[in-house]
Amino acid sequence: MQRAERLLDMIQSLRRRRRPVTAETLASELDVSVRTVYRDIGALVRQGVPVRGEAGIGYVLDAGFDLPPLMLSPDEIEAVLVGMRWLSERADPVLARAAEDVVSKVAAVLPPHLRPILLDGALFAASHPGDVPTDQVDVAAVRAAIRNGRKLSIHYSDESGHATQRMIWPIGMTFYERVRIVIAWCELRQAFRHFRTDRLTGLVALEERYPARRADLFRRWQKEEERTKEEWERCKREGSGMQANAEGSVAA
């Protein structure tokens, strides 16, 4: 790898992270020595790239720094292709159409020798089965509320058909093979809850912003999910131990 190419890859590696990254991690990604990383960081700083940090702690690229548009590599083009094909199969109509627009916009700026990788690409995302539940509300409004940190008033029908009305603070959405799940703080339950978009029977997007930063709420949700997972794993281990003891007793 040429040094100029390596320096660009290093900037990209720093740019994709929000937290400091160690020289050891950069060295592993770029397949170079840690000493080379130190030299390259020094070269970037001398050229005016706002890299902060120090050896042993990590490096971070200051916000606001950017490079002129760079050409995508074949691997990056294929990543765009598979991701957009996956979304076109599983997203709401507005987001699916946006995925198609992304492909066309990327194709418009690719040089002729790279365009076939995108337009005639041989990498696919499996189509979902025909029994995928249908949404009854505009899911694009949910995504807009997530971006803007605004409350949603929803009517929801659970698995048993019981209908409730909730006021929620949407903070994220997870895409599964057949359904989409809204991650939200529920004012009624005073806790984080998950809502399937196909079970939303009514939705009103409010102008009122919820009184917390979405990023802070998302971190709280992640911690709760981690605790729940750890508790589940502990119960499974204890259950396996109890079963083994029981089988041992029977054998005796």
- 208 Cβ contact list (under 8 Å, min separation 6): 150, 151
- 194 Cβ contact list (under 8 Å, min separation 6): 181, 182, 183, 184
Rounded to 5°, the CA angle 211-150-178 comes to 125
Q: What is the average per-residue pLDDT within 192-210? A: 96
Note the Cα 112 to chain centre separation in Å: 31
Coil, helix or strand at residue 58: strand
pLDDT of residue 251: 38
Residue 9: pLDDT band (50, 70, 90) is: confident
For residue 137, count other CB atoms closer than 10 A to its CB. Answer: 20
| pLDDT (tens digit per residue) in 115-145 | 999 999 899 888 766 677 899 999 999 999 9
Give one word for 189, left, alpha or beta, with left for phi > 0 and alpha for psi -120 to 50: alpha
CATH class (in words) of the domain with range 139-212: mainly beta
pLDDT at residue 245 tops 80: no
> What is the value of pTM for the model shown?
0.72
Q: What is the average per-residue pLDDT within 50-77? A: 80
- What is the percent of the chain where pLDDT is above 70? 90
| pLDDT (tens digit per residue) in 143-183 | 999 999 999 999 999 989 999 999 999 999 999 888 999 99
Q: What is the average per-residue pLDDT within 206-228? A: 95
pLDDT at residue 94 tops 90: yes
For residue 212, count other CB atoms closer than 10 A to its CB. Answer: 13
Coil, helix or strand at residue 201: strand
Residue 1: pLDDT band (50, 70, 90) is: low
pLDDT at residue 248 tops 50: no
Q: What is the average per-residue pLDDT within 218-245? A: 83
pLDDT at residue 247 tops 60: no
Question: Domain map of the chain by residue range?
Answer: 3-61, 74-119, 139-212
- DSSP-derived letter for residue 21 is B
Contact in structure between 47 and 39 (CB atoms under 8 Å): no
Contact in structure between 201 and 137 (CB atoms under 8 Å): yes
Fold held by 3-61? Arc Repressor Mutant, subunit A (1.10.10)
CA distances from 154 to 91, 142, 179, 202, 203 (A): 20, 10, 18, 5, 4
pLDDT at residue 242 tops 70: no
* Residue type, position 69, single letter: P
> From CA 149, how far away is CA 172, in angstroms rounded?
10
Q: What is the average per-residue pLDDT within 12-23? A: 88
| pLDDT (tens digit per residue) in 42-53 | 999 988 889 998
What distance separates the 2 farthest-apart alpha carbons in the chain? 75
CA distances from 80 to 38, 84, 107, 167, 199 (A): 32, 6, 11, 36, 30
